[in-house]
């Protein structure tokens, strides 16, 4: 199903592997027969239009929803995730498009939100702000992100910069798998390029990345594997050597649906 080549990564145990996964909401079949692999140092792109099932797939990998059928393996072990905390404890970090940040708080404060280091003892215990500032700066630089000032409120950063901070945060806190929910959807060309650069940096740090997108160009810039969803079913699952950018674009454009539309519009 993966189409991996003998010389490729097929023999290595995947960090995350879904096989024939399905999910139903009441009578609505949101996903059916979806399989994918995420490997260390690789980027698996999930492409699909609205209603394709991308969010449902993320929710299964992020531990928000259980799957109804099929299997989920993490590092070879079949499992069911019970909560987002469970997913995080197993090294799966998810960065949502509408990042949960506190806009008026500085970048470093947001970076450590919920896991602040403290120093001192008893009533004198307090936040180690110096350490947090320093660590944030170092964690950003590690991925090559040169932010002018980690003291500025995170709300003053551009959307792309905020995505980059979230990626650096996941890497710093030891994620093995990074799930990115349409990180470039609301961004212009230049900012999208910057975000994709840091997606590649996370990959080069050895993380396995799941990149959700509806942009085949963005996917092809960084992707090793491409899973195409349409109306809840998997219509394609390719390794990079199995599909060209043109083919991916054609598939995303709707393939024969698009040809029919072109024909119809021409007549009218």
Query: What is the contact surface with ligand ADP in residues (CB under 6 A)?
Result: 25, 28, 30, 48, 50-56, 232
Instruction: Pick between residue 30 and residue 107 the one whose CB is nearest to ligand ADP.
Output: 30
Alpha-carbon gap, residue 156 to 222, rounded angstroms: 28
The nearest distance, CB 212 to ligand ADP, in angstroms, is 8
Chain-centroid distance, C-alpha 261: 32
The nearest distance, CB 133 to ligand ADP, in angstroms, is 37
Instruction: Pick between residue 34 and residue 154 the one whose CB is nearest to ligand ADP.
Output: 34
3-state per-residue secondary structure call for the chain: CCCCCCCCCCCCCCCEEEEEEEEEECCEEEEEEEEEEECCCCEEEEEECCCCCHHHHHHHHCCCCCCCEEEEEECCEECCCCCHHHHHHCCEEEECCCCCCCCCCEHHHHHCCCCCCEECCHHHCEECHHHHHHHHHHHHHHCCCCCCCCCCEHHHCCHHHHHHHHHHHHHHCCCCEEEEECCCCCCCHHHHHHHHHHHHHHHHCCCEEEEEECCHHHHHHHCCEEEEEECCEEEEEEEHHHCCHHHHHHHHCCCHHHHHHHHHHHHC
The nearest distance, CB 119 to ligand ADP, in angstroms, is 43
Alpha-carbon gap, residue 42 to 36, rounded angstroms: 12
The nearest distance, CB 163 to ligand ADP, in angstroms, is 18
Instruction: Pick between residue 51 and residue 155 the one whose CB is nearest to ligand ADP.
Output: 51
The nearest distance, CB 60 to ligand ADP, in angstroms, is 10
Instruction: Pick between residue 9 and residue 55 the one whose CB is nearest to ligand ADP.
Output: 55
Alpha-carbon gap, residue 71 to 154, rounded angstroms: 39
Instruction: Pick between residue 50 and residue 268 the one whose CB is nearest to ligand ADP.
Output: 50
The nearest distance, CB 50 to ligand ADP, in angstroms, is 4
Alpha-carbon gap, residue 202 to 198, rounded angstroms: 6
The nearest distance, CB 14 to ligand ADP, in angstroms, is 22
Instruction: Pick between residue 12 and residue 231 the one whose CB is nearest to ligand ADP.
Output: 231
Instruction: Pick between residue 94 and residue 136 the one whose CB is nearest to ligand ADP.
Output: 94
């Amino acid at each position: 199903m993966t189409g991996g080549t003998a010389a490729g990564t097929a023999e290595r145990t995947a960090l995350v592997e879904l096989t024939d996964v399905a999910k139903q909401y009441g009578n609505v079949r949101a996903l059916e027969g979806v399989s994918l692999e995420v490997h260390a140092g690789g980027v698996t792109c999930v492409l699909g239009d609205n209603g394709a099932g991308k969010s449902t797939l993320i929710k299964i990998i992020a531990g928000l929803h259980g799957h109804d059928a099929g299997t989920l393996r993490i590092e070879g072990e079949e499992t069911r995730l019970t909560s987002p905390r469970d997913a995080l404890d197993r090294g799966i970090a998810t960065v949502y498009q509408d990042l949960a940040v506190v806009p008026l708080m500085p970048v470093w404060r947001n970076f450590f939100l919920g896991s602040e280091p403290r120093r001192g003892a008893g009533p004198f215990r307090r936040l180690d702000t110096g350490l947090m500032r320093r660590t944030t700066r170092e964690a950003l630089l590690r991925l090559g992100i040169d932010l002018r000032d980690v003291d500025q409120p995170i709300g003053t950063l551009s959307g792309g910069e905020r995505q980059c901070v979230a990626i650096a945060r996941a890497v710093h806190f030891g994620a093995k798998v990074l799930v990115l929910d349409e990180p470039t959807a609301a961004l212009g060309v230049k900012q999208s390029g910057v975000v994709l650069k840091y997606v590649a940096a996370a990959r080069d740090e050895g993380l396995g990345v799941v990149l959700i997108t509806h942009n085949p160009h963005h996917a092809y810039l960084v992707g090793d594997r491409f899973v195409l969803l349409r109306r809840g079913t998997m219509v394609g699952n390719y390794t990079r050597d199995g599909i060209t950018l043109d083919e991916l674009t054609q598939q995303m454009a709707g393939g024969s649906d698009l040809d029919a539309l072109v024909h119809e519009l021409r007549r009218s």
